[in-house]
Amino acid sequence: MTPEEKQQFLKSGLLEGITTQEELSTMLKELHSAALEAMLQGEMDNHLGYSKHEQSLHSNARNGSSSKHVKTEFGKSQIQVPRDREGSFEPIVVPKNQSTATPIENIIISLYAKGMSVSDIEEELQQIYGYKLSTSAISIITDKVNQRVLDWQNRPLEAVYCVVWMDGIVFKVRQSGKVINKTIYLAVGLNREGYKELLGMWLGHNESAAFWQGVLTDLKARGVEDILVTVTDNLNGFTQSIKNVFPTAGTQICVVHQIRNSARYVVWKDKKAFTADMKLIYNAPNKEMAAQELERFAQKWNDKYPYAVQSWQRNWEELTVFFDFPLEIRKIIYTTNLIENLNGKIRKYTKNKMAFPTDDALKKSVYLSLMQITKKWTQPIHNWGLILNQFLTIFENRVQL
């Protein structure tokens, strides 16, 4: 509290009749509870798009409130949390399933994670919460995220990962007066307990195999000794980059990427039949049958679309690694869809940013998005007990390194 705020508080008359420390604590607790409820109402106004005593223009509307016990610096309090009919209200100041009120610093960081600019946050705090903070003060708070990113990026990793998925996501960043494309490289590992784990993010220019080799070297420096299977797109040279750092890793090229890339060369009227024939290849029960389907595919389409057919033939060994595994493992390693879904969720958080002002701003925003998204990674993948036993059978001692 600033000296001016203290003077205003003393003149307000709120302390009249307060004679003991206990009475003061009770009054402060009640004031704080009232402030939290007012902030929640402000959040609800913003969520619905109209204030409490205005008429709703939408189907969603207020739906009473529910009692909730929260812990604050003044002790445990009971407050009323407003509800909406659709159940879509997600308060920031007192988050769902949490019993602790959020400090203003965390509110600012949460708003920043949702893609809001510093000036947008300044306006939001003033309109919803009644806080007046300068953009420079907000920037100081969000800059603290940089140290979090650094600590997280350099944390030690486990010795073995059963699967590592890798992919990049492109953003626009301002640099030297121009807007250019830069890539955030992401790696997600499946550890020996069956949990997905975000291994890191790395910022570079356009995606390249050389940069990915640096990423893999970083993983090794942070403690990774072995990867059983990697799953990547068909970027030229990617497989060799992996083998340079983890020579015993199986290297599966994403079949979905392969299908998309092949279909780019096909005219619209042929795409349905062409795609159906590709499905016969990767849906085959084993590698031998898949090879026969590829031969039929080549005989039918090679004259018309030789580049697409040759792409399958050129990448055949890496496209068919998944056939070496039981069906349960095949389902999780034949595609990078897992990490592409992650990229899609990042886009939802950063969609308000046409271009990031600096590299640091991009890294902060993506990091905060990732922390929000991965909070839900609380369960092992489906059928993990069976899958683990399959990995143990195939790789024996490597899983138990």
Geometric angle at alpha carbon 215, from 360 and 328, rounded to 5°: 115
| Percent of the chain scoring above 70 in pLDDT | 84
pLDDT at 18: 56
First to last CA, the chain: 55
Q: Compute how many other C-beta atoms are within 10 angstroms of the C-beta atom of residue 266.
A: 18
Return d(Cα 226, Cα 162) in angstroms, integer: 8
Alpha helices in 251-336 (DSSP H): 255-263, 268-282, 287-301, 306-314, 316-319, 327-333
Mean residue pLDDT of the chain comes to 84
Q: How far is CA 257 from CA 202, 264, 336, in A?
A: 22, 11, 8
pLDDT band, residue 251 (cuts 50/70/90): very high
388 pLDDT higher than 50: yes
pLDDT at 26: 66
pLDDT at 56: 67
Q: Which residue has the higher pLDDT, 330 or 356?
A: 330
71 pLDDT higher than 60: yes
- Name, of 24-28, 112-116, 175-179, 315-319, the range with top average pLDDT: 315-319
State the pairing for strand pair 250-253/160-175: unpaired
pLDDT band, residue 130 (cuts 50/70/90): low
Secondary element (H or E) of residue 154: none
Q: How far is CA 139 from CA 20, 31, 108, 136, 354, in A?
A: 40, 29, 10, 5, 19
* CA atoms within 13 Å, Cβ hemisphere of 376: 6
260 pLDDT higher than 60: yes
Return d(Cα 351, Cα 116) in angstroms, integer: 10
Q: Which residue has the higher pLDDT, 101 or 387?
A: 387
The number of helices, as runs of H, and strands, as runs of E, in the chain is 16, 7
